[in-house]
Structure 1
Amino acid sequence: MNTMILVLLAGVVAGAMNALAGGGSFVSLPAMIAAGVPPVQANASSTVALFPGGLASAWAYRDGLRPVGAVSLRALLGVTVCGGLAGALLLLRTSSAAFTFVLPWLLLAASIALAFGRRIGEAMRARFHVHARAVLAVQFALGVYGGYFGGAVGIMMMAMWGLLDSCELKELNAPRTLLVSAANMVAVVAFIIANAVHWHETLAMLIGAVIGGYGGAHLGRRASPQLIRTVTLLATSCITLAFFIKAYAPALLQR
């Protein structure tokens, strides 16, 4: 019972984070692991639990769907789905030991994207302009990352799209939510077919994520954006540091 309460509350926090600034997987994945779910299955279960909230966001943004620069949304969707499937299959073939080893680095990459993704995109846009084919290649790679782990993948997409499209970032929210949901959707199907989902914990977290997402959306209208960003970055940084310590401190102490 205590485990289910932990997972439910983690879902509330993760859903609220995704609604406010992103980074919900920083809470949902550690909670699944703390509940006793093996790391690979914990990541799969976390993805399934948070998927409905992302899908709801994609539906809410449907009227704003548009191409990204000269690249059609259909082309971006196709390569993202293929990448998401490849990433999900790669995760399913990853051992728990290997995933535990690489997880802190995935969290670090996501933390950097959350903290500096938009600034990096703006700085690169001032110096570079990429060809549409290169965008599709990078989009496939981001789809793989989305299917495998996915932390802050939406921000990574927008930073990359900024090299192709000079529009306001808020105009890219609709294609971002659609493509992130597409990568997650194909991953969810793969995880379910592979029987990699721990359903009791997943359903508890899913319920919490729906509650948190709804509450987070309302909170976001009142709270200071700077405060939300500061709290999110502080939380993600602390969780990332904790995973690095857990993964590498024992080996350092033995030297």
Structure 2
Amino acid sequence: MGSAESSSVEIHDRVDERDEAAEFAVRHAELARGYGGNGDPDDPALVQAMQMVLHIPKVDPPARSALLAAAAAAAVAVCLDSRSGPGGDWAARYLAWKRSRIRKVARRARGAQWVAAGEVEGVTIEVDGAQARAFVPGPIGAIDPRIRKLQIGGTDLAHDDPGPPDPELPVLWVNAALEMSVGKAAAQVGHASMLLAGALPVAAAAAWADREFRCAVRDADERQWAQVSAEVAAGRAVAVRDAGFTEVAPGSMTVIAVAPRR
């Protein structure tokens, strides 16, 4: 009797795993199709954007590289969350954004502001003590007031040197020559994580999801940037080219995402 019950549970678990894998594959296929194409609506209040919040306390702020890694992981986590898939609570809002011009807006929070931000629908990721939260996208005219009141600029973090990245993690190389603010860089690495996840085979993307989309973010100097740019040209990496609305010139290549080699 016991062995029959055990066998039934094992079969049920395998069915659940297959169902979850199939549902993830559908969400991944949507991401892999790319985004944009619908343009912006005539009403500026209906322009779609994903809001992001970076936790930057006044005392002991996080390392810039870790905070950007958390932001990158949070952005792609929203995209591949089950709630963004067919029939999910976030699906309509996610697809309306994804099929428009992709925009992300990064804000900063501390203390009670950060606690309040955690009550708004989204995903929080922590990397080495740094925390970032990405929210379900929507029209900029309907931003939750707990997020709208947060500052977009005004605080930056010093560049840090965390050492060589873990070879088992994707690396998002930030173009240091552009001198982007931490908020701008957060939006750009969020674009990069989405592009990379869509470019990966579905099994590799699922394995990355199991690790909460952990990645490394590093500044690329002129020599390193030339090397990773060659990877893009060879089809072994993906690049973010910015529309140029803020901080950088249109068409600037801001971040290059390189998948792990093993």
Scaled by the length of structure 2, the TM-score of the pair is: 0.26
The structure where helix makes up a greater share of residues is: 1
Greater RCO, CA 8 A, separation 6+: 1
Larger radius of gyration: 2
